[in-house]
Amino acid sequence: MSEKLKVPTMAEYMAEGKQPEILFWVGSAGSYDDRAKKISRAFVKVLHKANVDFAVLGTEESNTGDVAKRAGNEFLFQMQAMTNIEILNAYEIKRIVTACPHSYNTLKNEYPQLGGVYEVLHHTQFIEELMSSGRLKLKSDSTLNGKRITFHDPCYLGRANEVYEAPRNLLKSLGVDLVEMKRNRSTALCCGAGGAQMFKEPEKGDKDINVLRTEDALKTNPSIIATGCPYCNTMMTDGVKAKERESDIKVFDIVEIIANSEEL
Amino acid sequence: MQFIPNILFAIALILGIGFFAKNVKKLIRNIKLGQDVDVSDNKSQRWKNMTMIALGQSKMVKRPIAGVLHVIVYVGFVIINIEVLEIIIDGLFGTHRLFSKMGTLYGVLIGTFEVLAALVFVSVVIFWVRRNVIKLQRFWKSEMKGWPKNDGNFILYFEMVLMTLFLVMNATDVHFQDMNSGNVISQYIAPLFSGLAESTLHIIERSAWWLHILGILVFLNYLYYSKHLHILLAFPNTYYGKVNPKGQLNNLEAVTNEVKMMMDPNADPFAAPEEGAEDEVPAKFGASDVQDLNWVQLLNAYTCTECGRCTSECPANQTGKKLSPRKIMMDTRDRLEEVGKNIDANGGEFKDDGKQLLGDYISTEELWACTTCNACTEACPVSIDPLSIIIEMRRYLVMEQSAAPMELNNMMTNIENNGAPWPYNQMDRLNWANEE
Ligand code: SF4
Ligand code: SF4
């Protein structure tokens, strides 16, 4: 079933002389990675359900430069940042929402010095806002009721920016049985993807970081491991595979869990 | 002849404090070898951090056992040192327990000191057991061999001896025991010496008194060579520590200028640089040696207590990679000391010794293993930022030496060409909307 989602671009808004409420920053993973694309689609569905006026940059969006900066390539980072800022400022963007904590961190904390000042939200923060303002109502008799779900804190959302509760509040409002890993919030273990590790083989060691983190998660005996980051999602999915548990444990982004339970 | 003890005391005091001052000067000089960095922002947040983290030990108690023991030793040490004031005055003027004129208050004070001394002693013994008998993993990592390991134990022995001397001094002080006020602990130690003549007791008391104060002076001078420097540097270090969100890496201003030039179609590449602009461009991007780091990072290195909390939380270290954030800090300090000695030996000028922090101390294998997860900065009880040093050295590797791992070079080429870390077409960036 191939259904065409309505994803308006800023260029289209501009042509109509309108300004959307938010810009959805899709990010490179959300645009190209097969697994992460599903997260982007789930988020768009939720946005539609809540009647949010949003747009994306589409082909005018480019990589934020987060990985380049963390790999040490400040030149490439700043070139990317300035290119993006030029476009964002030309469209007079005020509010950005993204499903990628790396984009979130970079846009929020590292663009201002280069002239890009915006209000930036992680999608879980924005959805929480939609719910508390009553714009998004979720079914109370969700199929998730009582399901054991554990949440893995993405480093760039948690420790890096101290957003710990928004994702948890969403899960709780779905009525799930939220079980915490022993290391959670500020002491959560990294999934192993950050700092450009996603794009290279790990250094010599005795274990892969994502497997260690998956073991943390498995100890909570979950049926779903929830994340809020496309990279964590890949890492945890691979970890579950390495542990040969993919038949009974699923890895989902929180917005996918919401979209599924709402049958969007 | 009767003034000889006073004179000896004064000499010991002057020597002890003099050497200490000399080391402090060296310390400041070494820290100033670092690059300038603006830390004049967020003053109130900085004061708050210092009060909470250094004074209030807020991060220490995240690990409750070590935290509580440390608070005891810390509070005990600070308070018992009030007693040193009396010792110094007594020593200089030949008085004996000058403050005892305060009466009951004196008893309360000394009583408190005695209880604290006993608690400190017990805590220090537990610390020793954790290190040497239980062998907590983080104290037995590869960077903790030789001096760092001995240093950790020396301090514990030092504190045991100092506390014992203090209590013995009180126990053998006949007058003090007769006063029977404030001798809450020492009254139980006094019977151990009960068979001895008063003159012998006096000798023991005097010896304990002298050893106690000399011990403190030696300790003061030991600091410079030890991880124990943190008892002083934790304060400035938590003040100057990072106040921005942990995820925010600093912006390289010099790069900004160049990138702006490159991207501005109107910029004249042959235009003469602005007045003074020349010296704004740094000699190199990133850091290959300690002088390339900023002075707060060097202060970090001297402040590190080698507790290993960072390393025990580090995902790379936990999975057997070579990277240990504690080692990054220890290497930085060791290299900085080496550079400092080099400067001393060469009349105030650094002579190239063919060595540097990168390669001779920290390997690229360690640097590339970091996930930038900030577990280390979160865990550090004194606001040290090993990650910033790792990034600074990666910057050198990539921007000065083009020495990134091949896969990362591919990734960066992709970003340059397609605006994504993978080799996809920029024009396909919105295709996800039409797929299922
Ligand atoms: S930021 Fe790097 S050094 Fe620090 S804990 Fe994470 S992986 Fe280890
Ligand atoms: S950097 Fe901080 S946490 Fe790590 S060993 Fe030093 S003092 Fe301990």
Q: What atom of ligand 1 comes closest to residue A155's alpha carbon? A: 6
Q: Do A250 and A159 share a structural domain?
A: yes
Residue A3 lies in a domain: no
Distance from chain centroid for Cα B385: 11
Same domain, A42 and A98: yes
Residue A83 has pLDDT above 50, yes or no: yes
Nearest CA residue ID for atom 8, ligand 1: B314
* pLDDT for A141: 65
Confidence category of residue A158, pLDDT binned at 50, 70, 90: very high
Is B142 near chain A, with CB under 8 Å? no
Joined together, the tokens standing for residue A223 give: 């049926």
- Quote the pLDDT of residue A4: 77
In eight-state DSSP terms, residue A197 is G
Is A224 inside a domain boundary? yes
Residue A86 lies in a domain: yes
Of A109, A131, A153, the position where a domain reaches its end is A131
For residues A201 and A99, state if they share a domain.
no
Domain of residue A156, CATH code:
3.40.50
Task: Put residue B274 in one of left, alpha, beta given phi > 0 → left and psi -120 to 50 → alpha.
Answer: beta
CA of B367 to the centre of ligand 1 (A): 10
Domain identity same for A162 and A101: no
User: Which residue's CA is the closest to the ligand 1 atom numbered 3?
Assistant: B325
Same structural domain, A56 and A95: yes
Tell me whether residues A196 and B258 touch, CB distance under 8 A. Answer: no
Give the model's confidence band at A143: pLDDT under 50 very low, under 70 low, under 90 confident, else very high: confident
Last residue of a domain, one of A93, A114, A131: A131
More confident residue, A240 or B103: A240
Q: Do A37 and B432 touch (CB under 8 A)?
A: yes
Closest CA of chain A from B318, distance in Å = 8
**Ligand 2 center from residue B308 Cα (angstroms):** 5
Condensed to tens digits (0 to 9), the pLDDT of residues B300-318 reads 999 999 999 999 999 999 9
Average pLDDT of the residues in A170-186 = 95
Q: Which residues in chain A have their CB less than 8 angstroms from residue B435's CB?
A: 2, 37
Dist CA A183 CA A219 (whole Å) = 11
Atom number of ligand 2 nearest to Cα B309: 3
* A149 and A77 in a common domain: no
What interface predicted TM-score (ipTM) does this complex get?
0.96
Give the Cα separation of B331 and B316 in Å (integer): 18
Whether residues A200 and A154 fall in one domain: yes
Q: Which residues of B touch A239 (CB under 8 A)?
A: none
Domain contains A37: yes
Contact call for A2 and B435, based on CB within 8 A: yes
Q: Which two tokens stand for residue B384?
A: 């040290």
Domain residues for A63? 10-131
Give B-chain residues touching A114 at CB under 8 angstroms: 251, 256
Contact B421 A9 (CB under 8 A): no
What is the pTM assigned to this prediction? 0.95
**CA separation, residue A41 to residues A28, A170, A251, B385, B434 (Å):** 14, 18, 16, 38, 9
Residue A198 shares a structural domain with residue A257: yes
Residue A230 counted as domain residue: yes
Q: Looking at residue A205, what DSSP letter applies?
A: -
Same-domain pairing of A118 and A211: no
Reported as a single tens digit per residue, the pLDDT across A206-229 is 999 999 999 999 999 999 999 999
Which ligand neighbours the alpha carbon of B143 most closely?
A: 2
Q: Measuring CA to CA, how many Å separate B53 from each of A153, B57, B240, B380?
A: 24, 5, 12, 10
Is A195 inside a domain boundary?
A: yes
pLDDT tens sequence for chain B (436 residues): 678 889 999 999 999 999 999 999 999 999 999 999 999 999 999 999 999 999 999 999 999 999 999 999 999 988 888 888 999 999 999 899 999 888 889 999 999 999 999 999 999 999 999 999 999 999 999 999 999 999 999 999 999 999 999 999 999 999 999 988 899 999 999 999 988 999 999 999 999 999 999 999 999 999 999 999 999 999 999 999 999 999 999 999 989 988 988 887 776 656 555 555 555 555 789 999 999 999 999 999 999 999 999 999 999 999 999 999 999 999 999 999 999 999 999 999 999 999 999 999 999 999 999 999 999 999 999 999 999 999 999 999 999 999 999 999 999 999 999 999 999 999 999 999 988 7
Mean pLDDT (whole number) for A180-201:
96
Q: Note which residues in 85-144 of chain A have CB less than 8 A from chain B.
A: 105, 108-110, 113-114
Query: Based on the structure, what is the number of domains in chain A?
Result: 2
B242 touches chain A (CB under 8 A): no
- Whole-angstrom Cα distance, residue A171 to residue B181? 62
A244 and A166 housed in the same domain: yes
* Measured distance CA(A4)–CA(B170) in Å, rounded: 86
Give the pLDDT of residue A1. Answer: 41
Of A47-61, A101-115, B76-90, the poorest mean pLDDT is in B76-90
Report the residue among B312, B327, B329 best suited for mutation to probe ligand 2: largest number of ligand atoms under 8 A from its CB. Answer: B329
Cβ distance B323 to A162 less than 8 Å, yes or no, reads: no
Domain shared by A102 and A146, yes or no: no
| Nearest alpha-carbon partner for B436 in A211, A175, A47, A3 | A3
Confidence of residue A3 (pLDDT cuts 50, 70, 90): low
Residue A16, in any domain of the structure: yes
Residue A80 CA from chain centroid, whole number: 20
First to last CA, chain A: 14
Tell whether A11 lies on the interface with B, counting CB pairs under 8 A: no
In this structure, the residues whose C-beta lies within 6 A of any atom of ligand 1 are B 313-316, 323, 325, 370-376, 386-387
Within a domain: residue A229?
yes
Let me know whether A123 and A195 are in one domain.
no
